[in-house]
Amino acid sequence: MNNQSIVLFLMGPTAIGKSKLSLQIKKKFSQIELLSVDSKLIYKGLDIGTDKPLEKDLRENFYRLVNIIKPQDIYSAIDFYKDATQEIKNILKFGKIPLLVGGTMLYFKILLNGFAYLPPSNALIRNYIYKNICLEKKARLFDILKKIDPVSSKKIHINDVQRVLRAIEIFFVSGGQPRSQLIQSVHQKLPYRIFQFGLIPHNKNILYTKIVRRFYNMLDCGFEKEVFNLYKKKDLNLSFPSINSIGYKQMWLYIQNKCSYQEMIDNTIKSTFHLVKHQLTWLNRWKNITLIYDNQKDLLIEKIQKILQNKN
């Protein structure tokens, strides 16, 4: 394992078909091993709403970093970095090639650029902040961030409640050190040859139509029951990243009678559209990446084949 070892990245917006394509690539090239780069597929029990690959596909293809924690657990980007780098080492050790697949762009970014050490999440402090401050008004939460960490407050949007909450949590967990100071010490980047591919829509309207159909299919497959089973656990709430995610958050609010069924549908689809736009913005600004349209998947397979041939 050295800087001549090869690692493949496959990024793309939600619903574009990354998982299905990765399974095709895995079946075609026996030396490839799959590793998920998705902040929601890590959770056990979040299956329908995350469009998680079927259990049969997960088992047969050994999709790493899927179903590794409970919804009650807090899993940070740093946790992902540590787990992913270890899994990559494990794959390379056996002479295989890791194919990292997903749409959580922040995870890809820290693998490329390294990360700053931040203290692990503290559920007691996070829940205290959420219940005693966040529930009152997000503006008050943001005012606290401006006082304790003005630098971070200029980089985090007031509506990004999860990041605001995390920045405040870091301040208290670290004993009064602002997030903006802690992120100045960067840890190691991946020391491998990385080939990056981005799957993008050849027609955004077709992708948006697919997103709508996919969500209605989730509803038909029992998504409401899946979220209700999580709701009954009583040790989960919207402060947990697992629940405060697209689809789960909106269904949770519906179960709490805080919105109508149609509002739940409309808000989920709207949030998914916004996520896609955000992901595509990241991809269009990404360096050293080969962008491939979703109707040219064979081209991606050809490029991977050439990389593997050159390696051999």
Residues flagged as binding site for substrate: 14-19
Q: What is the pLDDT of residue 48?
A: 98
Q: What is the pLDDT of residue 158?
A: 87
Q: What is the pLDDT of residue 136?
A: 60
Q: What is the pLDDT of residue 43?
A: 97
Q: Comparing C-alpha atoms, which of 163, 125, 271 is closest to residue 212?
A: 271
Q: What is the pLDDT of residue 185?
A: 57
Q: What is the pLDDT of residue 199?
A: 98
Question: Side chain identity at 233, as an amino acid letter?
Answer: K
Residue 268: count other Cβ atoms within 10 Å of its Cβ: 24
Q: What is the pLDDT of residue 3?
A: 52
Residues flagged as binding site: 12-19
Domains in the chain, start-ordered, CATH in brackets? Answer: 6-115+187-311 (3.40.50.300), 123-182 (1.10.20.140)
DSSP β-bridge partners for residue 99: 8, 34
Plot region of 221 (φ>0 → left; ψ -120 to 50 → alpha; else → beta): alpha
Q: Are 235 and 72 in contact (CB under 8 A)?
A: yes
Query: CB within 8 A of 298, min separation 6: which ones?
Result: none
According to DSSP, the β-strands at 97-102 and 6-11 are parallel
Residues flagged as binding site for ATP: 12-19
Take residue 310 and report the two structure tokens written for it.
């050159």
Q: What is the pLDDT of residue 14?
A: 97
Query: CB within 8 A of 202, min separation 6: which ones?
Result: 293, 294, 295, 296
CA distance linking residue 306 with residue 303, whole number of Å:
5
Q: What is the pLDDT of residue 280?
A: 97
Take residue 21 and report the two structure tokens written for it.
């394509």
Take residue 287 and report the two structure tokens written for it.
């360096």
Give CA angle at 220 (264, 57), nearest 5°.
Answer: 115
Q: What is the pLDDT of residue 303?
A: 97
Write the CA distances from 30 to 25, 95, 150, integer angstroms. 9, 11, 50
Q: Comparing C-alpha atoms, which of 100, 123, 122 is closest to residue 112?
A: 100
Per-residue pLDDT of the chain (312 residues; tens, 9 = 90+): 455 799 999 999 999 999 999 999 999 999 999 999 999 999 999 999 999 998 888 888 889 999 999 999 989 888 999 999 999 999 999 999 999 999 999 999 989 987 766 777 888 887 888 777 666 677 888 899 999 999 999 989 888 888 888 899 999 888 888 888 877 655 667 889 999 999 999 999 999 999 999 999 999 999 999 999 999 998 999 999 999 999 999 999 999 999 999 999 999 999 999 999 999 999 999 999 999 999 999 999 999 999 999 876
